[in-house]
Amino acid sequence: MMNILSSSILSADFTRLGSQIEEVDKAGTHYIHIDVMDGMFVPSISYGMPIVKSIRGITDKLFDVHLMIIDPIRYIKDFVDVGADSITFHQEATDNPAAVIDEIHKYGKKAGIAIKPGTPIEAVFPYLEKVEMVLVMTVEPGFGGQKLIPETLDKVRMLRKLIDERKLDVDIQVDGGVYIDNVEEILEAGANVIVSGSGIFKGDISENIIKFRNKLSE
């Protein structure tokens, strides 16, 4: 599978959001990762449809929308309408994950299912044939700048083994505490979609993207 870099704008400077998105685009990020938080599923509140709509015209990179919200099926169409290309929701946030996946697919978009660090990886097994991606959170969702929880990579290894055994075309995304100095370990565990926020937007953005791209292509 292709290794993919997804730049999380949660760590961007919002006074310069447009120009920073243009910079990560030009430097070679594959996806733009957009974290949506409702203050209920996670303690933080981030941003919603107006921000996604406002930046859609800046780049044609894939919009990788991560919904950290309760009952996500309510807002699938809204995020599709403002430009989401791939929508990932949390298994823990709904009583009917299959219905959410179907709703995403109804609009022709890619569906991902995510789990928190404390959720067993087995929780996503029933949906592997239905989704395009599984997101293994490697920190507690809701805040940027946390350190990666090493034990979460065991879930990535288990998931990669099962996906390969079943010969499924499913990406494994890792989000949380991802930096240049630990991305090799994450890739070796079996992830192929790498989300980084602070690791990209802190310091020289273009240089950080180039370093990540080099690691992903090794």
Residues with a catalytic annotation lie at 35, 175
How far is residue 206 from each of residues 3, 16, 74, 201, 213, measured CA to CA in Å? 18, 15, 36, 9, 11
The torsion angles phi and psi of 144, rounded to 5 degrees, stand at: -85, 165
Q: Is the dihedral of CA 119, 144, 82, 131 positive or negative?
A: negative
70 within 8 A of 43, measured Cβ to Cβ: no
Q: How many CB atoms within 10 Å of residue 211? A: 17
Q: How many CB atoms within 10 Å of residue 2? A: 9
Q: Which residue has the tokens 């109804």?
A: 106
Residues in Cβ contact with 164 at an 8 Å cutoff, skipping those fewer than 6 apart: none
Structural tokens at position 132: 């395009």
Q: How many residues does the chain have?
A: 218
Residue type, 207: E
Phi-psi region of 167 (alpha: psi -120 to 50; beta: other; left: phi over 0): left
